[in-house]
């Protein structure tokens, strides 16, 4: 899918009309937001202020736990509010960005009306709004916002360009996963406008000691079977670690599927990754979990959470083991033949590493 100027112009005009006579816009992003959600909301907030007198606010649930994302918000001066503190009656216009009403990964109440939805995830059957722009073919929601800047010929501040550059890179694994020509065009547009100094600080931040402890635990707990890898992180300080570890393990040359899990409070988070194109990872994770509301994704990436009724360590471990076997069976392996073995052997550095 390439950029369709007529479509973007038509949808932008509808957005512009929705701003008429409005005073306050609430932009809601998903819980534990990733760079794409944050950057898209940041860009929409800026554009709203440029083309109208409407005052925008950005709200999120959960936490911003990944170090890179924390640095991104801090260094780029992105103002965010906790959604639990939001008084909805204050806002006469509400937008959901990089998520949809009832998706399970946001705390937006279904009793409230959503006016605008911008997303690149598959459309839910019950998604309703006055303006819906959902383009699953895109690798990132931020690409839609870049098209609006270009449509208006609106100068893009360096901080917004930096946020979107990082978002596009993060969401598509440096333009190597589920990237669309429109995403590539958007990246080439924003990268020269970004602050390379801030981008460097965001992508290579200083890391605290607990990060290495979790990383070591994840490698120790990772098991493999054939081309599958499964890693249970146990208890984690924030949800983002699950996706980060999954993205790392899937880089193993012999692994084409990776399932990573970890729990925080009463939620078990899951991330599924594959190197195979058109693998329908989003559909697969729904089948192994048996839930269409709290998990989902794209062809090569998927994730979500399971609400834990029992948070005892033994119960959680039994659940994650069941999920790992379910994935293997779903991918065509016979359950009675599945034998997991540790990813990390005792001799972790071979004498000859040329190959």
pLDDT digits (tens, 9 = 90+) for 6-23: 557 889 999 999 999 999
H-helix or E-strand containing 159? Answer: helix 158-171
Work out the average pLDDT over 284-308: 91
Q: How confident is the model at residue 346 (pLDDT cuts 50, 70, 90)?
A: low
Residue of 270, 275, 274, 312 lying closest to 290 (CA atoms): 270
H-helix or E-strand containing 323? Answer: helix 313-330
Tokens of 154: 């609106």
pLDDT at residue 355 tops 90: no
Looking at the chain, the whole-number percentage of residues with pLDDT higher than 70 is 95
Work out the average pLDDT over 309-319: 91
pLDDT value, residue 2:
43
Structural contact between residues 28 and 96, judged by C-beta atoms closer than 8 angstroms = yes
pLDDT value, residue 139:
94
Structural contact between residues 144 and 118, judged by C-beta atoms closer than 8 angstroms = yes
User: What span, in angstroms and rounded, lies between the C-alpha atoms of 110 and 44?
Assistant: 22
pLDDT digits (tens, 9 = 90+) for 186-219: 999 999 999 999 999 999 999 999 999 999 999 9
User: What span, in angstroms and rounded, lies between the C-alpha atoms of 120 and 281?
Assistant: 15
Backbone φ/ψ region at 229: left (φ over 0), alpha (ψ -120 to 50), beta:
beta
**Largest interatomic CA distance in the chain:** 71
pLDDT digits (tens, 9 = 90+) for 93-141: 999 999 999 998 999 999 999 999 999 999 999 999 999 999 999 999 9
Q: Terminal CA-to-CA distance of the chain, rounded, Å?
A: 38
Structural contact between residues 116 and 95, judged by C-beta atoms closer than 8 angstroms = yes
Q: How confident is the model at residue 4 (pLDDT cuts 50, 70, 90)?
A: very low
The interaxial angle of helices 67-75 and 158-171, nearest 10 deg, is: 160
pLDDT value, residue 337:
94
pLDDT value, residue 348:
56
pLDDT at residue 3 tops 50: no
Query: Which of the two residues, 268 and 348, has the higher pLDDT score?
Result: 268
User: What span, in angstroms and rounded, lies between the C-alpha atoms of 135 and 121?
Assistant: 7
Work out the average pLDDT over 340-346: 87
pLDDT digits (tens, 9 = 90+) for 27-81: 999 999 999 999 999 999 999 999 999 999 999 999 998 999 999 999 999 999 9
pLDDT value, residue 352:
57
Residue bearing tokens 């924003």:
190
Structural contact between residues 35 and 166, judged by C-beta atoms closer than 8 angstroms = yes
Distances (CA, A) of 330 to 47, 178, 299: 45, 22, 15
pLDDT digits (tens, 9 = 90+) for 221-273: 999 999 999 999 999 988 999 999 999 999 999 999 999 999 998 999 999 99
Structural contact between residues 343 and 218, judged by C-beta atoms closer than 8 angstroms = no
């Amino acid at each position: 899918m390439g950029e369709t100027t007529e479509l973007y112009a038509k949808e932008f005009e509808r957005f512009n009309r929705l701003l008429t006579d409005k005073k306050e816009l609430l932009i809601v992003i998903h819980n534990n937001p990733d760079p794409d959600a944050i950057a898209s909301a940041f860009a929409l907030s800026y554009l709203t202020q440029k083309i109208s007198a409407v005052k925008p606010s950005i709200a999120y649930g959960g936490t911003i736990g990944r170090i890179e994302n924390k640095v991104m918000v801090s260094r780029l001066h992105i103002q965010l509010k906790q959604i639990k503190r939001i008084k909805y009656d204050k806002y006469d216009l509400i937008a959901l960005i990089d998520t949809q009403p009832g998706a399970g990964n946001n705390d937006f109440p279904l009793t409230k009306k959503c006016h605008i939805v911008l997303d690149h995830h598959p459309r839910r059957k019950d998604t309703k709004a006055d303006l819906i722009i959902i383009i699953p073919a895109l690798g990132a929601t931020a690409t839609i916002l870049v098209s609006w800047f270009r449509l208006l010929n609106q100068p893009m501040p360096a901080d917004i360009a930096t946020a979107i550059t990082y978002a596009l890179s993060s969401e598509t694994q440096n333009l190597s996963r589920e990237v669309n020509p429109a995403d590539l065009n958007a990246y080439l547009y924003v990268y020269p406008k970004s602050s390379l100094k801030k981008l460097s600080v965001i992508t290579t931040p200083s890391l605290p000691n607990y990060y290495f402890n979790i990383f070591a635990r994840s490698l120790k707990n990772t098991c493999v079977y054939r081309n599958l890898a499964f890693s249970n992180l146990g208890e984690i300080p924030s949800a983002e670690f699950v996706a980060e570890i999954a993205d790392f393990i899937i880089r193993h040359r012999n692994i084409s599927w990776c399932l990573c899990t970890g729990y925080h409070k009463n939620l078990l988070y899951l991330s599924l990754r594959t190197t195979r194109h058109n693998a329908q990872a989003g559909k697969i994770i729904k089948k192994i979990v048996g839930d269409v509301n709290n998990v989902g994704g794209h062809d090569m990436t998927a994730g979500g959470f399971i609400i834990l009724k029992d948070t005892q360590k033994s119960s959680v471990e039994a659940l994650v083991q069941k999920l790992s076997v379910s994935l293997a069976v779903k991918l065509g392996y016979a359950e009675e033949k599945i034998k997991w073995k540790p990813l990390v052997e005792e001799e972790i550095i071979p004498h000859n590493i040329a190959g």
